[in-house]
Structures are given as C-alpha cells and as structure tokens.
Amino acid sequence: MGLFRRKAKKAAPVCSVVVVAAGSSARMGQDKIMMQVGDLPVIVHTLKAFESVPEVAEVVVVTRDDLISEIAGLCKVFDLQKVTKVVCGGSTRAESSRIGALEVRGDTPLIAVHDGARPFVSEQVIRAVIEKAAAAGAAAPAIPVKDTIKVARNGVVESTPDRSTLFCVQTPQVFDASLLRAALQKAVDDGADVTDDCSAVERMGMKVALTPGDERNIKLTTPDDIRLAEAILMEV
Amino acid sequence: MGLFRRKAKKAAPVCSVVVVAAGSSARMGQDKIMMQVGDLPVIVHTLKAFESVPEVAEVVVVTRDDLISEIAGLCKVFDLQKVTKVVCGGSTRAESSRIGALEVRGDTPLIAVHDGARPFVSEQVIRAVIEKAAAAGAAAPAIPVKDTIKVARNGVVESTPDRSTLFCVQTPQVFDASLLRAALQKAVDDGADVTDDCSAVERMGMKVALTPGDERNIKLTTPDDIRLAEAILMEV
C-alpha cells in the first residue's frame, strides 16, 4: 500500500479545452491563426501545446466556417490526437466560447477556453491554471502590467490606477463546466460586451483566481507581434 | 502680407527635453540604454530622435554617476548638438525627473520628460505632444490597451475595468515648466510612488491630455524587448 501511495499520482484528464479561433484578424490583415511562425502555422503551435498535458481530455476548435476543413486537415497532418471536433463559431467572442462549451463532452468537470492566437502557452501555465480552477472553480493566468495605465475619457486622463493591482490576463481560462456554460449563456442573452471569459463569470458575482502567466504567452494581433513571435521561437 | 501668412510658420524651440536614463536595468540584466540595437546604442537612438525636432531647444540627460562620461562621449561621437548636459540622477524616478527639470535652461515654457529606454519615438509623436501641452499645460502620448486588464488583490480578481477607457501611457510627457517643477517637488517631498511624470501632475489636481502614441514607441525592459526592437529596426 505504502509503495502505491508513494507513486506519483497520474493526473486525470479532467479538463476539456475550447480553442477559439473565429476572429476576422482585422488588425493583422490576414488570417493570423494560419500564418506560419517558425515552421508551423500558428494554430498548430497552439494545439500542440495541449497534446502532452495529462489533465487535458480533449480539444474542440471553434473557428470560422471557411477555415473548418483546413484546420481539420492540419490536425490530421500533424497527428493532433486530442482534437475531437472543429466547429463553426458565432458572431461574437462570447458566442463562440459558448458554442465550444456546449460542444465538449459532458463528463469533464472543467472547461478551459484558450485563444487560438496564443501559440506559446507552456505546459506549466496550463497545468497551474487547471489545478487552481479545480480548487477554486474559476482561474486564469495573468502577468503584472508593466506600463503605466491611465483611465481616460474624451482624451483627458481621469485617473491612474495603482499599477501593483493591475494584471494582463491571458488564456487558457479554466472554469467549472456548468458555471462557464451558465455565465456564457447569460452574457450572450444580455448582449454583454465581455472581452474575456472571466468577465462573463465575474458578471455572475463569482470569484476568479489568478495564476502565474508567462511573458511569452503573447496574443498575436498585429504584424509586429508576428515578428516578436519569430524572435521568441529563435530563442527556444 | 498674404504671402507671408501663407508661408509655413517656423516652429519656435519652446521645449526643453529631459531624458531619464538613471535606472538599474534590473530586469534586463545589463545596462539597457548602452545595449546595441541595430548599429547604435539604445541611448543614441533615443537622443537622435530629438535632434531634428524644431520645437526642441535642448536635451538634458539624467543618468547614473557611472554612465555620465560614457554618455557624454557618445554625444560627441554622434554629434548630438542638442544635448547640453549629462547629469547625475537621484534614487527614484521622480527624483531624477526633478533634477532634470531643474537643470534645463529657464527660458523654455515647456519641459518634456522622456524615457531613455524608448529609442523609437517618432518626430510625429514628439511634435503632437508638445503642441498639445502648449495649449493644455500637460500632455502625454498614449495607445489603447490591447489586453484585458484585471484589478486583483491577493490573487483574486476584483474587477475588470472597461477596456475602452484604458490607455498605456508613453513618453515624452510634456508640461508647463513651472507646473512640472512644482509637481515633482511635491511628489518627492511626499515620497509619493509615481510611476510617471503625469501622475505627479495629476496629484496636483491638474488635467493631463492624451495625444496619439505609437505601437513602436516601446520601452525596453526585458531581453524579449530587445529582440522586438531588433525586429522593429529591420522593418524601418
């Protein structure tokens, strides 16, 4: 018995992952998730990050209608075994998350939502946020804000929030599955302008815990970000 | 007369610039302002940016004691004609700004304070913020925040401020000269933890106007930023 107890506990596949890649990439000028970074398309980097994480049960990709078959093809080519579905998203970010949260299998207690355009998320970041969400119900990785942030309206500064209380939130954001589905349904029904999934959960009055994020877990938005991504890859 | 009025008005040298480069570069692991980016040290890129701006009367560099002669040497080598002084800074950012604001000549109505580690500030950004400060008394360039920002304490999210009201403030920040000197003196006297010069001015109850910043006007803080800087330079 003692021998068994001392063996490292094998992590159970407790979490389904929704990868949201349904945006228009307006600021990039082309489909950012299909852009090549290093020798792989962005979306392949992203999906590969979840393949080896033992807590991850499956991955559902939510994307635009016109990208479904291309992404499904990439999953086959790169043998991404955890990707179970590639489905069509909605017209808003919350709508796409909601669709993903309904498409995952029903027996995983946790759902993670991850930006398709964050290709450099590490196993460490993923495991830490899943572990925290298992305990707290809702968790997201975050890094301290480096810049001085101003709250401004009509071009005039109203206040300078204390920087030590400000965090850039990243993904994957992980939640109790029922909580997330309810929160996203409500956000969509209310037409709420939520820029991340935590916000939908916070609107329900629920607490979200923060876990350590990673400077390299960048979200690719502009062409400058692609250059930074190339630089990051060269260092790895 | 009509002919004269239609001629472009020559901009008067109304602004003294304080370039603050007195930090320890703790997160970079070496003196960031002396690092080579492209074919020039960071501080040379920064100082060159102000040379051709007609509104700039002079530049005073505030740095660490051990860097004074090296920076003065670079100014000579690169023929930086607007740099009039290289002086020793204080133990805090506010203290170094204050020293710079006292070292500039007394006849310019405006003082700009700029981070030595922002080498890619454009003439357009500099001129716009000087013009705005001449009209409003205090102005700073800023860009909209891209990330979702959380206010958190003890690892738990307290709120998600409306992203459309959040701006990353950059430098140069430009002020009425007497206002800036008074505000920095008060911040230093009060031991206030101000992360930028605007904050010192805001503490006096004065309004600060925002002008368009630039994504490329980055502040070099970490080694990843140096890689991004190299990528930016390759594009120029």
**Residue A219 with chain B: CB contacts under 8 Å:** 146-147
Strand-pair partners of B153: B156
What pLDDT is recorded for position B5?
A: 52
**Residue A147 with chain B: CB contacts under 8 Å:** 168-169, 219
**B interface test, pick of A131, A149, A199 with most B CB neighbours within 10 Å:** A149
How confident is the model over B87-92, as a mean pLDDT? 94
A195-231 pLDDT per residue, tens:
899 999 999 999 999 999 999 999 998 887 888 888 8
Give the Cβ contact number of residue A122 at 10 Å. 15
* Contact between chains at A150 and B167 (C-beta distance less than 8 A): yes
**Residue among B215, B163, B115 at smallest CA distance from A228:** B215
Quote the minimal CA–CA distance from B225 to chain A in Å.
Answer: 9
Contacts of residue B111, Cβ cutoff 8 Å, sequence gap at least 6:
B15, B16, B17, B18, B100, B101, B104, B174, B175, B177, B180, B181
**Residue among A209, A161, A201 at smallest CA distance from A181:** A201
* Contact between chains at B165 and A147 (C-beta distance less than 8 A): no
Predicted model pTM: 0.87
Q: Alpha-carbon distance B111 to B56, whole Å?
A: 9
What pLDDT is recorded for position A110?
A: 98
* Contact between chains at A161 and B159 (C-beta distance less than 8 A): no
Angle ∠(A166,A133,A85) on CA atoms, nearest 5: 110
As given in the structure block, the two tokens for residue B40 are 């020039």
CB nearest to B224's CB, from A142, A155, A215: A215
Q: Alpha-carbon distance B220 to A150, whole Å?
A: 20
Residue numbers of B between 131 and 150 with CB closer than 8 Å to A? 140, 142, 145-150
* Helix or strand (DSSP H, E) at B202: helix B197-202
Nearest chain B residue (CA) to A136: B156
Split at pLDDT 50, 70, 90, the class of A151 is very high
What pLDDT is recorded for position A63?
A: 97
DSSP state of B54: T
* Contact between chains at B228 and A231 (C-beta distance less than 8 A): yes
- In order of A56, B125, B133, B173, B181, the CA distances from B110 in angstroms are 58, 16, 8, 10, 11
Split at pLDDT 50, 70, 90, the class of A25 is confident
Q: Alpha-carbon distance A182 to A175, whole Å?
A: 11
Residue numbers of B between 164 and 193 with CB closer than 8 Å to A? 165-169
* Contact between chains at B231 and A231 (C-beta distance less than 8 A): yes
Split at pLDDT 50, 70, 90, the class of A9 is low
Contacts of residue B102, Cβ cutoff 8 Å, sequence gap at least 6:
B181
* Contact between chains at B142 and A152 (C-beta distance less than 8 A): yes
Residue B17 has pLDDT above 80, yes or no: yes
Residue A1 has pLDDT above 60, yes or no: no
What pLDDT is recorded for position B1?
A: 44
**Residue B195 with chain A: CB contacts under 8 Å:** 148, 160, 163
**Residue among B35, B36, B41, B91 at smallest CA distance from B62:** B91
Residue B40 has pLDDT above 80, yes or no: yes
Split at pLDDT 50, 70, 90, the class of A2 is very low
Contacts of residue B168, Cβ cutoff 8 Å, sequence gap at least 6:
A147, A148, A149, B142, B143, B144, B145, B213
Whether chain B has a CB inside 8 Å of the CB on A64: the answer is: no
How confident is the model over A12-21, as a mean pLDDT? 96
More confident residue, B210 or B227: B210
How confident is the model over B149-160, as a mean pLDDT? 96
**Residue A167 with chain B: CB contacts under 8 Å:** 149-152
A43-95 pLDDT per residue, tens:
999 999 999 999 999 999 999 999 999 999 999 999 999 999 999 999 999 99
Residue A170 has pLDDT above 50, yes or no: yes
Per-chain mean pLDDT for chain B:
93
Helix (H, G, I), strand (E, B) or coil at B12: coil
What pLDDT is recorded for position B28?
A: 77
B167-226 pLDDT per residue, tens:
999 999 999 999 999 999 999 999 998 889 999 999 999 999 999 999 999 999 888 788
A114-130 pLDDT per residue, tens:
999 999 999 999 999 99
Angle ∠(B174,B144,B40) on CA atoms, nearest 5: 60
Question: How many residue pairs bridge chain A and chain B with CB atoms within 8 Å of each other?
Answer: 140
* Contact between chains at A165 and B159 (C-beta distance less than 8 A): no
* Contact between chains at B215 and A235 (C-beta distance less than 8 A): no
Share of chain A above pLDDT 90, in %: 81
Quote the minimal CA–CA distance from A79 to chain B in Å.
Answer: 31
B95-145 pLDDT per residue, tens:
999 999 999 999 999 999 999 999 999 999 999 999 999 999 999 999 999
